[in-house]
């Protein structure tokens, strides 16, 4: 027998959960529908999120962060995503991709200059990997970073960039030595406002409409060598390592969307009456709620396990991919069921679940589709 399993949250984790839930309910909820309709970036809400320490949760306090563990992060992410998935994805990118990448691989000088304001929420960042012909295939980068001695000259286009116009710092993955393929890729820090760096059109999206997603154009952008992360050719490993952690954040976002829709469906089922009694007393609805609850709880433990693996220093490639795949599938299914439970009301904006159903779809797409997660899992279990 072993006593190493503990399914209870610590008092600190409970406090973080309560703080995140309170923020979501009091600050995010009042304007979430209006922001979705207008595709309005939640600038003030994100600023307040940063002031509470939720934008650099796992970064050491010496660099402006909260110094918390990954489990704290996913607990907070779930509560934010229950109400506003657009704010959750801003939080996810800043924590899981930008801050994590700089914290783990950045130089002391890069951490001092960029990580501090990012982790404290003074500014936010963007992670720039996807391209028109290189989404999940990170080895096929067309964006180039030509070595000019003491600087790189960057040219190319990046697509689907979250925080595309709102960020101040961009981590850009670009090809320097094309003949070396993935071993010739670099990760560079680009600042907003640099000559030749232009923010392209804003995408009009199905879901997470309040987050700003843009294409980015790089036209002879000069990036000093001291803004390269790691050694020459380290960019591919940097991107893959960062994305592994990013999957945990997306899994937590998907979990939150599913759990938020379930909570609304549960509440509605107790209020809505049909045939003389609340619909929660009809077996058909009970079956739906029971299955939603069970699948969401299973997703939650998978997300927690991935976070725990990361905190323990274990390999979390498999557990993160499993959590991301399963939680995103549950999010799409549970939000659809929540709309069904609401009936006609589920199809209108004021009941929120139609927005959650639209938001859920993206969790099956970014950080790699469900099929890609299955490939990652297969490679781990087959030792390929």
CA-derived radius of gyration, the chain: 21
Average pLDDT over residues 286-300: 98
pLDDT > 90: percent of the chain:
93
Coil, helix or strand at residue 123: coil
Tokens for 280? 């929660």
Please give the structure tokens belonging to residue 167: 């960020």
Tell me the average pLDDT across 9-20: 97
- For residue 357, give Cα distances in angstroms to 76, 86, 262, 270, 285: 21, 13, 11, 21, 19
Using alpha carbons, list the distances in angstroms from residue 23 to 16, 18, 49, 59, 119: 11, 9, 8, 21, 18
User: CATH number for the 236-382 domain, one of 1.20.140.10, 1.20.210.10, 2.120.10.30, 3.20.20.140?
Assistant: 1.20.140.10
Query: What's the CATH architecture for 11-124?
Result: Orthogonal Bundle (1.10)
Position of tokens 């003389």? 276
The residue ranges of every structural domain in the chain are 11-124, 126-232, 236-382
- List, as one string, the DSSP characters of 56-69: STTS-GGGT-----
pLDDT class for 4, splitting at 50, 70, 90?
low
3-state secondary structure (DSSP) of residue 229 = coil
pLDDT at 208: 98
The CA-based angle 196-173-145, given to 5 degrees, is 55
Which listed CATH number (2.40.110.10, 3.40.50.300, 1.10.4160.10, 1.10.760.10) goes with 126-232? 2.40.110.10
CB 33 within 8 A of CB 350: yes
Helix (H) or strand (E) holding 266: helix 235-271
Residue 1, pLDDT score: 38
List the structure tokens of 75.
């607990």
d(CA 344, CA 348): 7
Closest CA to 62 of 116, 140, 9, 126: 116
pLDDT of 355: 98
Q: Do domains 11-124 and 126-232 have the same CATH topology?
A: no
Active site residue 133: no
pLDDT grade, residue 369 (50/70/90)? confident
149 vs 373: CA distance, rounded Å? 39
Q: Give pLDDT tens digits for 51-83.
A: 999 999 999 999 999 999 999 999 999 999 999
Give the residue from 313, 312, 307, 306 showing the smallest Cα distance to 377. Answer: 306
pLDDT at 136: 63
Please identify which of the residues 271, 367, 371, 380 carries the catalytic annotation.
367
Span 301-328, mean pLDDT? 97
What pTM was computed for the model? 0.96
Residue (of 197, 288, 184, 208) closest to 256 by Cα position:
208
Q: How far, in Å, CA of 159 to CA of 126, rounded?
A: 12
* Location of structure tokens 């960029």: 114
pLDDT, tens digit (0-9, with 9 covering 90-100), for 112-159: 999 999 999 999 999 999 998 876 667 778 999 999 999 999 999 999
DSSP secondary-structure letter at 184? G
How far is 291 from 214, CA to CA, in rounded Å?
37
> Is residue 352 predicted with pLDDT exceeding 70?
yes
How many helices and strands in the chain, by DSSP H and E?
13, 9
Give the rounded distance of the alpha carbon of 162 from its chain centre: 9
pLDDT (mean) for 172-189: 96
pLDDT single digits (tens) 204-242: 999 999 999 999 999 999 999 999 999 999 999 999 999
Quick one: pLDDT band at residue 6, thresholds 50, 70, 90?
confident
Q: Identify the pLDDT of residue 2.
A: 43
Q: Can you tell me the distance from the alpha carbon of 318 to that of 352, in angstroms, rounded to the nearest whole number?
A: 33
Nearest Cα residue to 230 out of 120, 106, 108: 106
- pLDDT of the residue at 370: 83
């Amino acid at each position: 027998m072993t006593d190493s399993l503990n399914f209870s949250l610590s008092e600190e984790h409970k406090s973080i959960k309560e703080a995140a839930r309170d923020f979501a309910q009091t600050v995010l909820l009042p304007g979430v529908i209006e922001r979705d309709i207008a595709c309005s970036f939640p600038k003030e809400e994100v600023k307040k999120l940063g002031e509470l320490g939720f934008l650099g949760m796992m970064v050491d306090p010496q660099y402006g962060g909260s110094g918390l563990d990954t489990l704290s992060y996913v607990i907070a992410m779930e509560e934010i995503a229950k109400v506003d998935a657009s704010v959750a994805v801003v939080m996810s990118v800043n924590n899981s991709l930008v801050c994590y990448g700089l914290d783990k691989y950045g130089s002391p000088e890069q951490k001092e200059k960029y990580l501090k304001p990012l982790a404290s929420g003074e500014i936010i960042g963007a992670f720039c990997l996807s391209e028109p012909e290189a989404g999940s295939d990170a080895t096929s980068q067309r964006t180039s970073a030509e070595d000019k001695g003491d600087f790189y000259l960057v040219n190319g286009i990046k697509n689907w960039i979250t925080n595309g116009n709102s960020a101040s710092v961009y981590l850009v993955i670009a090809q320097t030595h094309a003949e070396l393929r993935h071993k010739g890729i670099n990760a560079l820090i680009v600042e907003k406002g640099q000559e030749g760096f232009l923010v392209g059109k804003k995408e009009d999206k199905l879901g997470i409409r309040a987050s700003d997603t843009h294409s980015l154009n790089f036209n002879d952008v000069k990036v000093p060598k001291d803004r390269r992360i790691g050694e020459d050719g380290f960019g591919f490993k940097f991107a893959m390592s960062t994305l592994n952690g990013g999957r945990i954040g997306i899994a937590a976002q998907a979990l939150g969307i599913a759990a938020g829709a379930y909570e609304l469906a549960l509440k509605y089922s107790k209020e809505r009456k049909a045939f003389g009694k609340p619909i929660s007393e009809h077996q058909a609805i009970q079956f739906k709620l029971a299955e939603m609850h069970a699948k969401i709880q299973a997703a939650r433990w998978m997300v927690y396990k991935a976070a725990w693996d990361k905190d323990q220093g274990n390999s979390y490639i498999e557990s993160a991919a499993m959590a991301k795949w399963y939680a995103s599938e549950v999010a799409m299914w549970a939000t659809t069921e929540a709309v069904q439970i609401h009936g006609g009301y589920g199809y209108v904006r004021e009941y929120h679940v139609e927005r959650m159903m639209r938001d859920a779809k993206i969790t099956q797409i970014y950080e790699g589709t469900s099929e890609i997660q299955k490939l990652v899992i297969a490679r781990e279990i087959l030792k390929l």
